Amino acid sequence: MARPNAPFSIKSDTKVLILCEGPHDQAMFRALSKHMGLDGIQTTNPIDLGTNKSGVDALPIAIATIASNTPVLALPGFLVVTDNDRNPASRIKWLKSALGQPTLPNGKKFPVPKAAFEIKSGTPSVAIVTMPGKGKHGDLETLLLSAARKCCSTEKLECVDKLIKCAKIDKGKLSKSELRAILMCRYSKNPEISFALVWRDCPEVIPIDDGVFSEIAEFLKLFHSKL
C-alpha cells in the first residue's frame, strides 16, 4: 500500500529533477549529489508522485504526472533512472517511448535522448541513466553489491558466500540477497535496515565514493554543469 504524501511539486530552486524507480535508488542519488556538492537536486519516485506502486512499471505514470506539472516548463534538467535488468537495449527503447508520450503544459513533448548517458537539450533538457551502467546487465543492487563487497572483510565475505550457497538463492534475487547478507554481517545494530537508509545510518557499508559509482557520478556532474 502506498504511503500518504503531500501533493507533488517541482521546487522553484530545482536545477535537476531526478525520477527514480523507488526509494532505494532515490537515496543513492541523494547521497551521490551530496557527496559531489551539487546544488538544486530534487529526487522523487512514483510513490511520491501518488501512484500506488514503485518500480519500472510505474515510471510511465510518474513521467506523465511530472509532464502535467506546470513548473516543469521552468525546469532546467530532468533525469530518469532505471535498471537495465536482463535486456539493456529493450529497457532503453521502452523508456524512450514512455518519455515521448505525455504532452507538456505548452503543448510540446519532452526532448528524448537517443541513448542512456546522453543529454537531449530542450525545455527541460532530458537524460536517462541506467543501472548498473550503460549497456550492463543488472540493477541497482548489482551496483551496490560491487561496492559493498570491496570494503567487506574476507572473514565476513566467507560467511556471506556460505550462506548464499547453502540457501540456494534464486539467480534473479542473488544480488539483493547477497547485499542483505553483507548488511546483516556489518551492521548488527539493525540487520534489517532498508537500503534507503544505508547512507544515513551506516555509510561505511556501501561507500558512496567507491569507483563503481564513477560512471553515474561523472555523468550527473556533466548534466548538472550544462544547465
Q: Which three cell numbers stand for residue 93?
A: 527503447
Tell the CATH topology of 16-137+212-225: Rossmann fold (3.40.50)
The model's pTM: 0.94
- What was the pLDDT predicted at 165? 86
Would you say the C-alpha torsion 121, 73, 216, 60 has a positive or negative sign?
Answer: negative
* Strands 119-120 and 125-131, bridge-based pairing: antiparallel
User: pLDDT per residue over 73-125, tens digit each?
Assistant: 999 999 999 999 999 999 999 999 999 999 999 999 999 999 999 999 999 99
- What's the distance, CA 210 to chain centroid? 16
- What's the distance, CA 205 to chain centroid? 18
Strands of the chain (E only): list them: 16-19, 41-44, 77-83, 119-120, 125-131
Q: How far apart are CA 195 and CA 30, in angstroms?
A: 13
Where do the domains of the chain lie? Answer: 16-137+212-225, 140-207
User: pLDDT per residue over 119-172, tens digit each?
Assistant: 999 999 999 999 999 999 999 999 999 999 999 999 999 999 998 888 887 766
Can you give the length of the chain in residues?
A: 227
CA angle (139 as vertex; 122, 183 as ends), nearest 5: 125
Q: How far apart are CA 105 and CA 67, in angstroms?
A: 7
From the DSSP assignment, how many helices (H) and strands (E) are in the chain? 8, 5
